[in-house]
Amino acid sequence: MAPEWYHNAVTYANLYNPEWARSVFGEHQIKDSLIQLTPENKIFFQQKAIEMKKKAATRASEAAAYAKTKLQQSKVLPTMYPDYWGFGLGPTLNNLEYLAATVPNKVKLALKVFFGLVVVFLITWIIFKSKSVKQRDTFLQQN
């Protein structure tokens, strides 16, 4: 009969690295250690297992969210080049590709805004000129 600490160690190893524990202790020894645990240790290891499952689920959801974000970024952003030589060429290429991908859209928007303002200015100028011409004509007619 093995001591209590041995069963705790086997169970702990199985909890944190099951493949390694199976290769070192064997499936039969792991099952035997689980049976030999004291009730307090069984509760402790059950709580640890639940905690690890929650952490694994959290990591999985975070990894899925990260993958989704990366997929969305890969649709918008160009390929990210690493800086192999340390001269700043990788980030420069990244910036150039980003600008090449985003500048046309920004230029189109800027042109739309510019031409919209030009149209508004022309309409305002035409209205102002027509009013000033009317005022001039009325002034000349009165004098």
What is the tens place of the pLDDT at every residue in 109-124? 999 999 999 999 999 9
Distance of alpha carbon 66 from alpha carbon 12, whole angstroms: 30
pTM (predicted TM-score): 0.42
Q: How far is CA 65 from CA 13, 71, 73, 132, in A?
A: 30, 10, 12, 63
Q: What is the pLDDT of residues 47-101, one digit of tens each?
A: 988 998 999 999 999 999 999 988 887 776 656 666 676 676 667 777 777 777 7
The yes-or-no verdict on residue 143 having pLDDT over 80 is no
21 close to 30: Cβ distance less than 8 angstroms:
yes
Q: Which is more confident, 81 or 44? A: 44
User: Quick one: pLDDT at residue 65?
Assistant: 92
